[in-house]
Amino acid sequence: MKARLLALLVVLSMVAGAQPVVAEQVIGQPEISLSVQDNRISPGERSTLRIAVSNDGSLRKGGPAALEERVKSARGVTVDVLEEQIDAPIAVKSGSVTLGTLPDGAVGTAAFQLETGESLAPGTYRIPVEVTYSVTRSADFEETASPPGYTDVSYADSFRRTTTTVTLVVDREARFEIVADDANAVIAGDTGTLQFDLQNVGSETARKATVSLTARTGDLYFGEPTQPRKNRSVFVEELAPGESEPISVQIGATTGISPGSYPIAVDVTYETPDGVAETSDTLSTGVRVEPERTFDVRDISTSSFRVDEDEATVRATVVNTGDAPARNVVVRTQGPGPLQATAPEAAVGDLGPGESAEMRFTFAVPADAEPGSISLSFAVEYENADGDLRRLDEPIRRAVSLDPERDAFEVVDVETSVSAGGEGTLAVTVRYDGDRPVSNANAKVFVNDPLSSADDGAFLGSFEPGETRTAEFSVTAAGSAMAKAYPASIEIRYDDASGNSKLADGLQFGVPVGESAGGLPLGYVGAGVGVLVLAGGVFVWQRQRG
């Protein structure tokens, strides 16, 4: 009997050792909640949904602080937006967000990129969000007298998956879109038109709207080149949902801008039907800048371009070397110093890219001008597609040669019949070397001893270019003249094609004098006759006295 009792005690002792008694236990759980601070979204936009994940843990039975913290914490927290359960045109463009451990009282933020469709109607939308995390339901331990005051801790862990919702709101509002084509272009150094349709794609009417346009580069401006502005505003009285308003402004580009496309910022400030002031998100449109218009002056030639010439002519060709047409092209020329352009302007009409036109200019070159190489400037102006007058910033310069002065007349032949001690005819043939007809030509001859002329003038009349006329004069040669040519000159006064009186003087030539024809010279004969007359008179006087 004693042996059986002893065996029973041994068995009970073994059972008691296999299942130790739990002295203490901590029980609690995390409490996860979601919130969205800015829950307003708009159709047709990209936005960020920021979900605040908060843990407000609870405790059913306390114990050591570290164990309490354990049972109230959420570990490995992961947040997902369940796009497939959203019954609206809302797309989630980012994946799961892992926040890690959220202790009691902690807040984590999970950010998701959303993209809304244009058809998203105003209203309230509940967005399903799934949160997964690990928890410790309880922590068992035995108390000890020494720190930390407990030992033999065991945890009861589990995994939780919860789905909740956050609310997003789509308000009734005006929203805007820009509808533009590729026609928005401007040529560098010119102005053009920027135009587009402003469309209200929202759900509310915009009233008293101000459409503000801003050029994003300093080489673009609004308005005329003389008064450029970086901003331009257009007023729209009212724009209901679905309506469009055409916007058209003048835009210009400087000559220094590079060809390409440049952005224009568009902001709309308006009032809601309730009178609340609102401002749209910044919209953007663009303008294409094309290469500036360029011209060249080629094939320069001159005619009668010389000193002391009233009708000096310059001919040249102007070429449109740019990529854009130019309307009503006019070229003006100017010479240096005393040169005066009497026909300084050439209107050549419209010039397309690569097209050219011939030009003609005339100058009055004074007698004191210096011959040699000179520079002529050619200023080009034209009209753009809108009929606005434009000019090249700098004139085109080309070098030409100014020739020395040339006599209008030239002595081409001289004939005489005069001999020493006699009188004869001097015939001087002159040729007109000018380019245009002249009239009322009168010649005057100048001779020196031993020649003289009592009839030194002759009328020649009109000349055509290259035509010759002969002027005849009566000339006497002294008896002492030798048989040789004596210097003389002739001047011709005439009226040019414009009726101005001109003088061609200093035309030198030689007058050949022949030998005496024979017998006593007339001087000796006259002296002899005088002596005989004197002798006869003395004889008569003496007889009368006797």
**For 287-310, what is the mean pLDDT?**
91
| Whole-number Å distance between alpha carbons of 316 and 397 | 12
Q: Please give the C-alpha separations between residue 13 and each of 6, 10, 16, 439, 468, in angstroms, as whole numbers.
A: 11, 5, 5, 159, 161
Q: 379-413 pLDDT, tens per residue?
A: 999 998 888 898 888 999 999 999 998 888 999 99
Classify residue 79: in a domain, yes or no. yes
Q: Worst-scoring range by mean pLDDT, 11-15, 50-54, 157-161? A: 11-15
Higher pLDDT, 529 or 443: 443
Q: 259-284 pLDDT, tens per residue?
A: 999 999 999 999 999 999 999 989 99
Here the tokens at position 411 are: 């002595």
| Whole-number Å distance between alpha carbons of 481 and 418 | 10
Contact at 8 Å (CB) between 114 and 89? no
Same domain, 494 and 523: no
Classify residue 190: in a domain, yes or no. yes
Q: In 3-state terms, what secondary structure has residue 344? A: coil
The proportion of the chain whose per-residue pLDDT surpasses 70, expressed as a percent, equals 90
Q: In 3-state terms, what secondary structure has residue 37? A: coil
Residues ≥6 apart with Cβ < 8 Å to 252: 186, 190, 191, 192, 220, 221, 222, 223, 224, 225, 228
Q: 343-379 pLDDT, tens per residue?
A: 999 999 999 999 999 999 999 998 888 899 999 999 9
Q: What is the pLDDT of residue 10?
A: 41
Same domain, 523 and 433: no
- Picking from 107, 142, 170, the residue at the C-terminal end of a domain is 170
Q: What is the pLDDT of residue 15?
A: 42
Here the tokens at position 90 are: 């809302």
What separation, in Å, do the N-terminal and C-terminal C-alpha atoms of the chain show?
Answer: 244
Classify residue 15: in a domain, yes or no. no
On the question of pLDDT at 459 being above 60, the answer is yes
Same domain, 122 and 233: no
Q: What is the CATH number of the domain that holds 325?
A: 2.60.40.10
Classify residue 142: in a domain, yes or no. yes
Q: What is the pLDDT of residue 181?
A: 80
On the question of pLDDT at 238 being above 70, the answer is yes
**For 172-185, what is the mean pLDDT?**
88
Sign of CA dihedral 495, 496, 500, 501: negative
Q: What is the pLDDT of residue 517?
A: 60
Same domain, 386 and 272: no
Q: How many residues does the chain have?
A: 546
- Furthest C-alpha separation in the chain: 244
Same domain, 254 and 224: yes
Same domain, 304 and 204: no
Same domain, 128 and 219: no
Nearest alpha carbon to residue 515 among 427, 416, 421, 414: 421
Same domain, 438 and 398: no
Contact at 8 Å (CB) between 379 and 391? yes
Domain that holds residue 452: 420-512
| Whole-number Å distance between alpha carbons of 462 and 441 | 6
Q: 195-207 pLDDT, tens per residue?
A: 999 999 988 999 9
**For 483-506, what is the mean pLDDT?**
90
Classify residue 408: in a domain, yes or no. no
Residue reference for tokens 């997902």: 80
CA atoms within 13 A on the CB side of 259: 7
- Picking from 233, 267, 290, the residue at the C-terminal end of a domain is 290
Here the tokens at position 538 are: 């003395």
Q: What is the pLDDT of residue 518?
A: 53
Same domain, 181 and 270: yes
pLDDT, the chain, mean: 87
On the question of pLDDT at 11 being above 80, the answer is no
| Whole-number Å distance between alpha carbons of 293 and 276 | 48
Same domain, 299 and 285: no
Same domain, 120 and 215: no
Contact at 8 Å (CB) between 489 and 507? yes
- Picking from 290, 322, 346, the residue at the C-terminal end of a domain is 290
Q: Please give the C-alpha separations between residue 163 and each of 85, 242, 284, 402, 497, in angstroms, as whole numbers.
A: 11, 38, 40, 97, 107
Domain count, the chain: 5
Q: What is the pLDDT of residue 74?
A: 96
Classify residue 14: in a domain, yes or no. no
Same domain, 44 and 141: yes
| Whole-number Å distance between alpha carbons of 494 and 407 | 13
Residues ≥6 apart with Cβ < 8 Å to 374: 335, 336, 339, 399, 400, 401, 402
* Gyration radius of the chain over CA positions: 58
Q: Please give the C-alpha separations between residue 264 and each of 175, 177, 190, 212, in angstroms, as whole numbers.
A: 18, 14, 17, 10
Here the tokens at position 424 are: 């004869």
DSSP output for 389-421: EEE-SS-EEEEEEEBPP--SEEEEEEEE--BTT
Q: 133-174 pLDDT, tens per residue?
A: 999 999 999 999 888 889 999 999 999 999 999 999 998 889
Q: 15-37 pLDDT, tens per residue?
A: 444 444 446 999 999 999 999 98
Classify residue 415: in a domain, yes or no. no
What's 229's DSSP letter? B
Classify residue 55: in a domain, yes or no. yes
The CB density around residue 309, as the number of other CB atoms within 10 Å, is 24
Residue reference for tokens 């509808």: 179
| Whole-number Å distance between alpha carbons of 30 and 50 | 21
On the question of pLDDT at 66 being above 80, the answer is yes
Three-state secondary structure readout of 285-317? EEEEEECCCCEEEEEEEEECCECCEEEEEEEEE
Single-letter amino acid code for the residue at 415? E
Whole-structure pTM value:
0.59
